[in-house]
Amino acid sequence: MLIDSNLSCKHHIDYIALKISKIIGIISRLRHFIPTSILLDIYRSLIHPYISYGLPVWGQTTKTNLKIILMLQKRALRLIFFVNKTEHAIPLFVRANILPVDMLYYKSMSILMHDINCKTAPSKLLDLFTPADSVHSYNTRSASAGRFYIKHSRLKQESHSFSRIGCKIWNGLPEHLRTKNKTTIKKCLQQTLLQLLEHEENYVDVHTLIQKIPRFRSLTTNSN
Q: Where are the domains of the chain?
A: 10-98, 104-221
What is the pLDDT confidence band of residue 139, given thresholds at 50, 70 and 90?
low
pLDDT digits (tens, 9 = 90+) for 181-194: 999 999 999 999 99
pTM, to two decimals: 0.88
Please tell me whether residue 148 adopts helix, strand or coil conformation. Answer: strand
Cα–Cα dist 168/147, whole Å: 9
**Phi and psi angles of residue 148, each rounded to the nearest 5 degrees, phi first:** -110, 150
Q: Provide mean pLDDT across the span 36-51.
A: 96
* pLDDT for the residue 177: 84
* Residue 155 confidence (pLDDT) above 60: no
End-to-end C-alpha distance for the chain, whole angstroms: 36
Higher pLDDT among residues 220 and 167, named by residue: 167
Closest CA to 37 of 78, 70, 80: 80
pLDDT digits (tens, 9 = 90+) for 63-96: 888 999 999 999 999 999 999 988 999 999 999 9
In this structure, how many other beta carbons lie within 10 angstroms of the beta carbon of residue 67? 13
